[in-house]
Structure 1
């Protein structure tokens, strides 16, 4: 394989921005999924398409790493950022898929708050990715993502308390817990993206 001797920085930045934009689409599909009367199977199919598109972008970044001799920042950080973005997508898609597979008709209202946290985290991430070019004005992004993740943790704990309150049968508890666990993991993954961005910005400053 022939190595490029000049950096292809724009392609990395564009791919990261595309990946984050795809997360916004996925998070809004989750909002649709949990709304009353939603075509959940149709939405889950769209989520799978988003997940596939996210995988393609991740693979494109990995291919670029293999082809590039010079990268805009540390290769390990590029790999980690791409993987973290991919994790966000995987967890959201898994949550949507489980809602459909388990035929969960009624989700606790707190799940709406979980999904709202993810939607806002996705929007902030998409806004932040283009700023990687200059490494400026990023600190508010990771601070806000951390705040959102803390909110998500609080909602998750309240959901667990509700699930184990005795209002649900054991099978429903197991099904719902798998869904909210995936949503919680997605919130954690968005924080991992922000932490990686912070690490990159510190190194490049």
Structure 2
């Protein structure tokens, strides 16, 4: 580790852990969405919006602390990047739930459950990993597994698109609606990978 003459601000670690815990909450709401009826989905969407607002508050707290801190635990640009990418995950998950409600989707196509399960596992890994930023230890398996999950999400996404366009069970408008939802869920999986890649970059720089 690089030697530092001055103490480092550690409050950022708590904020990153809080952001990741909030993302895990969001992923569990996605799981709830799978078995919910129309009324239940409305209520889930309300809770997801609340979680997304909580995520925004945490992101703004990171930016505020960054602007008011002279010493940071690692590079300022990496702190900004990590906060922004964690926020992206929550935004994509909230968007997916909102679209399901706004488009009044009666039944999600087969494969969306697999997308959501991948996101939930990535959220669990991210929540477990963030506290380890304090020591920069025991993180290698985290970013390897998240990258593997993102590859799995890519395969599920491709199969979903093939199903939508070749099944013949959906009209053109339904295809457009469902494609937007599965695309946003894929963006969430990509965002998890970007967080993992940022963490890997931080650890490499600090080692």
Normalising by the residue count of structure 1, what TM-score does the alignment of the two structures yield? 0.95
Aligned to 1:131: 132
After superposition, the CA RMSD in angstroms is 1.1
Distance 1:12 1:19 in 2: 11
Aligned to 2:37: 37
From 167, 170, 186, give the equivalent of 1:168: 170
Aligned to 2:205: 203
Deviations 1:72-108 (A, max 9, x none): 0000000000000000000000000000000001011
Give the CA deviation at 1:203.
Answer: 0.3
Contact kept, 8 Å, 1:7 with 1:68, in 2: the verdict is no
Contact kept, 8 Å, 2:110 with 2:160, in 1: the verdict is no
Distance 1:134 1:69 in 2: 20
Aligned to 1:103: 104
Per mean C-alpha deviation after superposition, the further-off stretch among 56-65 and 166-175 is 166-175
Aligned to 2:3: none
Count of residues in correspondence between the two structures: 200
Distance 2:155 2:64 in 1: 39
Distance 1:141 1:89 in 2: 19
Distance 1:149 1:58 in 2: 24
Gaps of 5+ in 2: 1-5
Gaps of 5+ in 1: none
Normalising by the residue count of structure 2, what TM-score does the alignment of the two structures yield? 0.95
Contact kept, 8 Å, 2:129 with 2:142, in 1: the verdict is yes
